């Protein structure tokens, strides 16, 4: 259980922050940036949920995803080290559930005939914002995984990859199952 009695600690006033291991890193550190961008994704999903009164099933899926994103941030904040006790890690089963949710939402969507422009409805537009933030988090995590001594679990990368797919499919789902999608028309304004 997490207990937060005092919100400010002043320990970050020197431009560093603590990983879950207690190790101090600069606030611009790639690992800190990666889990910070995961947090940003989570906040964007919170905004989406404000627009889903008519979509309780999708809202429930996004609620599960928000919880998963805290798991994912915790996973990144405590790098796995050989000989150390395991902490909270993202599991392949979380990726599997996300894939099942994508399949469920995608089942009744109108086929795509072009790329989709962000828009159509407020929820869809915010889902696209969340998707692009998620893609940035994924790029940062993949870069982090290439660094020596910066372990990243494979399910973390897979989860972020699937999540961006989920957010895209969900945007089409809230746009009348794709009927109200705004499609790209190549060269339209030449």
Across residues 105-119, what is the average pLDDT? 92
Two tokens at 164?
């961006």
Residue 118 confidence (pLDDT) above 90: yes
CA 13, 14, 19, 24 torsion-angle sign? negative
Residue 4 confidence (pLDDT) above 90: no
Rounded mean pLDDT of the chain?
Answer: 92
Residue 131 confidence (pLDDT) above 90: yes
Residues 174 and 126: their CA atoms lie apart, in Å, by 11
Residue-level pLDDT at 19: 87
16 phi and psi angles, rounded to 5 deg: -120, 165
What percent of the chain is modeled with pLDDT above 70?
95
Residues 185 and 70: their CA atoms lie apart, in Å, by 38
Q: How confident is the model at residue 97 (pLDDT cuts 50, 70, 90)?
A: very high
Residue-level pLDDT at 9: 78
CA 165, 137, 135, 181 torsion-angle sign? positive
CA 140, 141, 146, 151 torsion-angle sign? positive
Residue-level pLDDT at 7: 77
Three-class secondary structure of residue 183 per DSSP: strand
Across residues 153-168, what is the average pLDDT? 97
Residue-level pLDDT at 85: 59
CATH number, domain 24-79+87-183: 1.20.1200.10
Across residues 116-142, what is the average pLDDT? 97
What count of residues does the chain have? 190
Which sequence spans correspond to the domains of the chain? 24-79+87-183
Q: How confident is the model at residue 82 (pLDDT cuts 50, 70, 90)?
A: low
Distances (CA, A) of 67 to 42, 43, 117: 9, 11, 28
- Taking only the tens place, the pLDDT of each residue in 7-22 is 787 878 888 898 888 8
Residue 4 CB partners (closer than 8 Å, separation 6+): none
């Amino acid at each position: 259980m997490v207990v937060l009695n005092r919100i400010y600690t002043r320990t970050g006033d020197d431009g560093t922050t603590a990983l879950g291991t207690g190790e101090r890193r600069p606030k611009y550190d790639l690992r800190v940036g990666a889990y910070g961008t995961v947090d940003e994704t989570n906040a964007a999903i919170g905004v989406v949920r404000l627009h889903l009164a008519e979509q309780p099933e999708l809202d429930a899926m996004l609620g599960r995803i928000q919880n998963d994103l805290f798991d994912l941030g915790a996973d990144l904040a405590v790098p796995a080290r050989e000989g150390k006790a395991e902490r909270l890690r993202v599991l392949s089963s979380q990726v599997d559930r996300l894939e099942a949710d994508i399949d469920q939402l995608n089942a009744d969507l109108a086929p795509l005939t072009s790329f989709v422009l962000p828009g159509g409805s407020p929820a869809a537009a915010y889902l696209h914002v969340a998707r692009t933030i998620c893609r940035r988090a994924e790029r940062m995590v993949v870069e982090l995984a290439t660094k020596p001594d910066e372990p990243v679990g494979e399910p973390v990368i897979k989860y972020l990859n699937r999540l961006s797919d989920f957010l895209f499919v969900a945007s089409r789902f809230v746009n009348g199952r794709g009927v109200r999608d705004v499609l790209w028309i190549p060269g339209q304004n030449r």
